[in-house]
Amino acid sequence: MADALKVGIAGLGTVGASLVRIIQSRADELATTCGRAIEITAVTARDKSRDRGLDLSGISWIDTPEALASEADIDVFVELMGGAEGAAARSVRTALERGLHVVTANKALLAASGVELAKIAEERGALLNFEAAVAGGIPVIKALRESLTGNTVSRVYGIMNGTCNYILTRMEKEGLSFADCLKEAQRLGYAEADPAFDIEGNDTAHKLAILTTLAFGTQIAPDEIYLEGISNISIEDIHAAADLGYRIKLLGVAQRTETGIEQRVHPTMVPRDSVIAQVDGVTNAVAVESDILGELLMVGPGAGGNATASAVLGDIADIAKSQLGTQRVPVLGTPAVALAPYKRAQMQSHEGGYFIRLTVADRTGVFASIATCMAENGISLESIVQRGKPDGAESSKTIILVTHATMEDSVRKAVDAIKAESYLAGEPQVIRIERPQTF
Ligand code: NAP
Ligand code: HSE
């Protein structure tokens, strides 16, 4: 049997601790599958004294991630700390420059510096694997990077944040508050160190930026993503969506258009009977539409220690099996030097259906005025309904509009025109509607 693959792990939190337990408990099976043992030889984290419930005997504790990357006797540097900058960025760069293979679950780092890191890896003949960075345990990176080679992708979209999907599901099904659901997601180890990254959509945007590059062969462009999170989705929106036959999901969508590639992350109403609407809790789903294969949907656990460690372990096993140790697959699907510039399609030209919820004074003529603002901007309505406020307030009413496919620009202009009227009694809520082709 070949020599053991020596692994150094930086970060022993939710994912790192799960990874250590899995590698230790399945040592024999892994050695058989990979043709060589996988041995954790060195680890690091911030606090050496913390009891992590792990058996670290026989494993060297290294004081800093940078020292682990630059000095330790390892073949693979596994980064499970997080953050686009700081120790994670420094140590991953150092490890690659040293020619070590790197495995990371850090989507923030890849979104910010993925192309630069891929170039270093490709120059040094090192592998940079990051299956866990997008959609937790779902093997979506491998699918796009390897299995769909030759396909022209037209759209990639999905539920890519377990925390948000968990919150939206429990709010809808159990009537729990947003804050309580978030606390529970944090307790279960789903949320980022700063959960604002989850609920404001940044985490989904980081993942989408990575998928866009793999799907369309363009430079990573996380700052070119239209971004809205779920923090202003109320239980009233969730109930209104249900009444209309929809569920609300935080989707990331990247699609080829005539003017460029549209990248957007926002709460989205999807038809209740679509497959993607049934994806609940921490589960993620990623759909890919391409010309040769057609439509592909991958569904599975999107966050949590074991689900994520499963993907990290798959990446380590790939390295262990690659006896040559040279780069066989470009890190980002296309060699980093050959990635095309990213050309953004403007959000104003996005076309789709819209849900618009307005809280208005209960006055004669309001309905007609709203209908006029819509018509003047060329918006055709699928439905318009008026309801009393759930709190029973007599003086205001809720009006819910659903549009046929229309341009984002027209919707923004119509909503601005309504805002200029005197009858609005609250900020309008606008939620885009997505109708998946198959799923
Ligand atoms: P976590 O529970 O917060 O653990 C982070 C670990 O990194 C801790 O052990 C911490 O040390 C260590 N660390 C942080 N900064 C450090 C520094 N400057 N020097 C040394 N050690 C440092 O995070 P996690 O949930 O395991 O996530 C790790 C990575 O995986 C992140 O990039 C995250 O986005 C990604 N990810 C997470 C999930 C998930 O479901 N949790 C899923 C997919 C991807 P101490 O323990 O001593 O504080
Ligand atoms: N915080 C992330 C999520 C972890 O909730 O999806 C998985 O990337």
170 and 100 in a common domain: no
**Mean pLDDT, to the nearest integer, of 288-306?**
97
Domain holding 110, by residue range, is 5-138+305-338
Domain-embedded: residue 405: yes
Report pLDDT for 6.
Answer: 98
Confirm whether 207 is a catalytic residue. yes
Reported as a single tens digit per residue, the pLDDT across 133-190 is 999 999 999 999 999 999 999 999 999 999 999 999 999 999 999 999 999 999 999 9
**Could you tell me the pLDDT band of residue 395, with boundaries at 50, 70 and 90?**
confident
Ligand number nearest CA of 307 is 1
Domain-embedded: residue 228: yes
320 and 294 in a common domain: no
- Ligand 2 atom, smallest distance to 105 CA: 8
Q: Is the pLDDT of residue 308 over 80?
A: yes
Going by CA atoms, what residue is nearest to atom 23 of ligand 1? Answer: 13
262 and 209 in a common domain: yes
Q: Considering 119, 183, 207, 249, which one is annotated as catalytic?
A: 207
**Count of structural domains within the chain:** 3
Domain-embedded: residue 376: yes
> Which percentage of the chain shows pLDDT scores above 90?
91
Nearest-angstrom CA–CA distance, 398 and 405? 22
pTM: 0.94
Domain-embedded: residue 156: yes
Report pLDDT for 392.
Answer: 57
Report pLDDT for 387.
Answer: 81
315 and 297 in a common domain: no
Q: Is 82 in the pocket of ligand 1 (CB under 6 A)?
A: yes
CB 117 within 8 A of CB 128: yes
**Mean pLDDT, to the nearest integer, of 235-248?**
95
CATH number at residue 401: 3.30.70.260
Q: Is the pLDDT of residue 119 over 70?
A: yes
291 and 259 in a common domain: yes
80 and 157 in a common domain: no
Q: How far is CA 163 from CA 153, 203, 225, in A?
A: 27, 10, 20
CATH number at residue 193: 3.30.360.10
313 and 297 in a common domain: no
> Which percentage of the chain shows pLDDT scores above 70?
97
CATH number at residue 30: 3.40.50.720
**Could you tell me the pLDDT band of residue 329, with boundaries at 50, 70 and 90?**
confident
195 and 174 in a common domain: yes
Domain-embedded: residue 45: yes
Q: Is the pLDDT of residue 2 over 90?
A: no
| Residue 205: exposure state from Cβ atoms within 10 A (0-12, 13-18, ≥19) | buried
Domain-embedded: residue 438: no
**Could you tell me the pLDDT band of residue 330, with boundaries at 50, 70 and 90?**
confident
Domain-embedded: residue 348: no
**Mean pLDDT, to the nearest integer, of 334-363?**
94
188 and 278 in a common domain: yes
Nearest-angstrom CA–CA distance, 330 and 327? 7
369 and 270 in a common domain: no
Q: Report the chain's mean pLDDT, rounded to a whole number.
A: 95
| Residues near 260 by beta carbon (within 8 Å), at least 6 away in sequence | 342, 343, 344, 345
175 and 206 in a common domain: yes
- Ligand 1 atom, smallest distance to 311 CA: 43
Please state the φ and ψ torsions of residue 333, each to the nearest 5 degrees.
85, -50
Q: How far is the CA of 248 from the centre of ligand 2 (A)?
A: 18
* Tokens read off for 95: 């490890």
Reported as a single tens digit per residue, the pLDDT across 72-108 is 999 999 999 999 999 999 999 999 999 999 999 999 9
Report the C-alpha dihedral over residues 65, 71, 74, 77, rounded to 10 degrees.
30
Q: Under DSSP, is residue 234 helix (H, G, I), strand (E, B) or coil?
A: coil
126 and 15 in a common domain: yes
Domain-embedded: residue 394: yes
Mutation test of ligand 1: which of 63, 79, 81, 186 has the most ligand atoms closer than 8 Å to its C-beta? Answer: 81
Nearest to 154 by CA among 50, 258, 224: 258
